[in-house]
Amino acid sequence: MISTTPFADAIANYKVIFFDSYGVLRTYTGAVPGVANTFDALAAANKHFYVITNDASRSPDLLAQSLHRQGLHAVGADRIISSGMLAKDFLDLKVKTGIVAYLGTEDSAHYIEHPGLEALPLETLEEKDFGRVNALVLLDDEGFDWVKGLNKAVNLMRRRTIPVILANADGAYPVNNQDVGIAIGGLGWMLEKIVGKKLIRFGKPDSQIFMYAYEQVLANLPGITKKDILMVGDTLQTDILGGNKFGLDTVLVLTGNTLPDDAETRIASTGIAPTFICHAAVI
């Protein structure tokens, strides 16, 4: 078993904490035991926090409600930065008119609703309207028929030169203590490889989501620098790599994708080293 730092010690010298959600605050069985106390302690110590998640399946409001149902009442929607928000920004800046087709649930379509744009589930898009599509957004693995949706995505991508946005770069997500489910990121890899066109990826480890969060921090707390921020995550390839590259100190917790027995081997074999390793994000 790897030696770890108490979480209270790890966060002592930082003013703002960034948390990943799944695997850090909650797992498939509910909230990580004791994590609600962490938010009380942060408030008592006057430390700020944001939740930075690659989950684009729902709006920040719905994501916050889901955390509230599990007893994490401290996390308001305004504290959540999701990769879907980056996709939304991209559409605002770069796609002004026409149809934006998507793969995902109705909830996930929140991120592509925008005045001037017509958000359309890819399945209901008719071939005669292919010419009016100005972006395709991959939001969630649920909410559509895989055979119809994925085949239509391949052919839309072949026929049109449009941005194809992947709002969640994760390939799979845990569904119980041993199994995973294929995520929209995994489906996106296949589309990219078959068609030979690069998807535009938003979400950790890409630095754009950290920059987005950092701008929120600066708006609320002028003068904060990167040295004052700590990123807490369970996944080396997204949370830790992305945090490190952005210039943040990082904590790897062992309540999610990285197991206590594997942590040292994985750090050595990937070369991705967190500043601290903690058992859980629990004080």
Q: How far is the CB of 9 from its own copies (least distance, A)?
A: 19
Task: Give DSSP secondary structure letters for 198-253.
Answer: --EE-STTSHHHHHHHHHHHHHHSTT--GGGEEEEES-IIIIIHHHHHHT-EEEEE
> For its own copies, which is the closer residue by CB, 11 or 75?
11
Q: How far is the CB of 58 from its own copies (least distance, A)?
A: 20
Burial of 41 (C-beta count, 10 Å sphere; 0-12/13-18/19+): middle
> For its own copies, which is the closer residue by CB, 45 or 218?
218
CA distance 111 to 57: 9
The interaxial angle of helices 207-220 and 83-94, nearest 10 deg, is: 90
Q: How far is the CB of 40 from its own copies (least distance, A)?
A: 30
| CB distance 150 to 187 below 8 Å | yes
> For its own copies, which is the closer residue by CB, 4 or 244?
244
Q: Which stretches does DSSP call E strand in the chain?
A: 16-19, 26-27, 30-31, 48-53, 80-82, 98-103, 117-121, 133-138, 164-166, 172-174, 180-182, 200-201, 229-233, 249-253, 276-278
Short-list 28, 52, 34, CA closest to 206: 52
By CB under 8 A, name the binding residues for its own copies. Answer: 89-90, 92-94, 146-147, 150-151, 154-155, 157-159, 161-164, 171-172, 178-182, 186-187, 189-190, 193-198, 200, 206-208, 211, 226-227, 237, 241, 244-249, 265, 267-273
Q: How far is the CB of 271 from its own copies (least distance, A)?
A: 4
> For its own copies, which is the closer residue by CB, 3 or 161?
161
> For its own copies, which is the closer residue by CB, 38 or 237?
237
Q: How far is the CB of 225 from its own copies (least distance, A)?
A: 9
> For its own copies, which is the closer residue by CB, 62 or 200?
200
Q: How far is the CB of 203 from its own copies (least distance, A)?
A: 12
